[in-house]
Amino acid sequence: MKAVAVFPKGREVKVIDVPEPRLRSPTQVRVRTLEVGVCGTDKEVVEGRHGKPPEGEEHLILGHECLGEVVEVGEQVKGLEPGDLVVPRVRRPCPSRECRACRAGAPDFCVTGEYTERGIQGAHGFAAELFVEDASYLHPVPRELREVAVLTEPLTIAEKALREVERVQARMPWRRQPGRAVVLGAGPVGLLGAMVLMRAGYQTTVYSRSPKPNPKAEMAESLGAPYISAKQHPVEKLVEERGRADVVYEAAGVASAAFEVVKALAPNGVFVFTGVTESEKAQLDEGLLMKQMVLENQVLLGTVNAAAADFEIALEDLGHFRSKWPGRVERLISARHQPEDYAEVVRGEKGTDIKDIIVFTRG
């Protein structure tokens, strides 16, 4: 069968032929891949900055954002049958008995770093015509979400971030209104984050580098979230126009920009980081930052991956978003490509403005 793989030694991305996977246990499910998303993490894997193939192999099948259709179920599988749409979770727990997070079923909080992630870290991904997965890692998808469900995994990043923010803000039982939010970055994770924050009641502004007009700005403002260009408006002007933010949701992966926007955080606010960057020296006054955080009870929070509950909420929210903003979620997917185009897409040679999808099967 056809699969898209990276060969890290030469940093080559190829369409290869691999054997079709078979069920190896009664709790497994065989799934036909319909679509996989391409994101910044895939680019990092292809460039050798992150991830690794399975032990003893020279290649890694890519793809961690996936929508598939069940074709076969093991005899002990309940709740799934051929024809059902599913999205898979990405991370698998580490083997350490000392990692209480993984033993408690929360590998997104793994402390050893020895977890595996499909399509990223030590396990083949979903960019193949078929894959096999344990039923416990698959989430059923309502048929009406067929055209947008491939966005589930990137949406879970925002769902977990909001869940963590709300846990932190439970320290203020007198808090009644969500308040203001700034989303830093207008890629898919940023725009989906804006939707999540607006659904939760936050007055949300998208703050990103590119000047208007541009497709991302148009998308943000079509949701009702003002778009402000960081090139045209320094942080001080952002605060002057929009006020300080109770939540800053970082989805840009640029350290210098992120720490500059900490200035816009309100007293008792939470700044949540979701982006990953290479070593980068940000120009900041550490003493002033520390003083601001202490005197104003601020929290800087990092979050990665997501839990099963975040996938369930994400699927619910996709339905909610389609009702609230008709046609907008579909517009986040700006192009669909063939597997043979993967290398050009992931390297930015054939990509589009917001979200690129690789189509394996029209279903």
Residues 253 and 280 in one domain: yes
Q: What is the pLDDT of residue 363?
A: 64
Q: What is the pLDDT of residue 10?
A: 87
Examine residue 87 and state whether it is found in any structural domain, yes or no: yes
Alpha helices in the chain (DSSP H): 40-46, 100-103, 152-169, 188-199, 215-223, 235-242, 255-261, 286-295, 308-324, 328-332, 342-346
Residues 125 and 170 in one domain: no
Q: What is the pLDDT of residue 279?
A: 67
DSSP string covering 277-295: --S------HHHHHHHHHH
Examine residue 124 and state whether it is found in any structural domain, yes or no: yes
| Number of domains, the chain | 2
Residues 54 and 96 in one domain: yes
Residues 169 and 109 in one domain: no
Residues 289 and 179 in one domain: yes
Please state, in angstroms and rounded to a whole number, the distance separating the CA atoms of residues 5 and 125.
Answer: 9
Examine residue 307 and state whether it is found in any structural domain, yes or no: no
Q: What is the pLDDT of residue 312?
A: 98
Residues 18 and 134 in one domain: yes
What's the whole-model pTM score?
0.96
CATH of the domain at 279: 3.40.50.720
DSSP string covering 148-186: TGGGHHHHHHHHHHHHHHHHHHTT-TT--S--EEEEE--
Could you list the residue range(s) of the whole structural domain that residue 82 is in? 2-141+327-359
Residues 261 and 338 in one domain: no
Examine residue 335 and state whether it is found in any structural domain, yes or no: yes
Residues 336 and 260 in one domain: no
Tokens 């079509």, located at residue: 222
Examine residue 148 and state whether it is found in any structural domain, yes or no: no
Examine residue 245 and state whether it is found in any structural domain, yes or no: yes
Q: What is the pLDDT of residue 283?
A: 74
Q: What is the pLDDT of residue 282?
A: 67
CATH of the domain at 6: 3.90.180.10
Bin 150: left if φ > 0, else alpha if -120 < ψ < 50, else beta: alpha
Helix/strand/coil percentages in the chain, nearest 5? 35, 30, 40
Residues 249 and 181 in one domain: yes
Task: Give pLDDT tens digits along the chain (363 positions).
Answer: 999 999 999 899 999 999 999 999 999 999 999 999 999 999 999 999 999 999 999 999 999 999 999 999 999 999 999 999 999 999 999 999 999 999 999 999 999 999 999 999 999 999 999 999 999 999 999 999 999 999 999 999 999 999 999 999 999 999 988 999 999 999 999 999 999 999 999 999 999 999 999 999 999 999 999 999 999 999 999 999 999 999 999 999 998 889 999 999 999 999 999 998 876 676 778 899 999 999 999 999 999 999 999 999 999 999 999 999 999 999 999 999 999 999 999 999 987 789 999 999 876
Residues 189 and 275 in one domain: yes
Closest CA relative to residue 269, chosen from 301, 302, 227: 301
Q: What is the pLDDT of residue 280?
A: 67
Examine residue 318 and state whether it is found in any structural domain, yes or no: no
Please state, in angstroms and rounded to a whole number, the distance separating the CA atoms of residues 133 and 116.
Answer: 14
Residues 161 and 131 in one domain: no
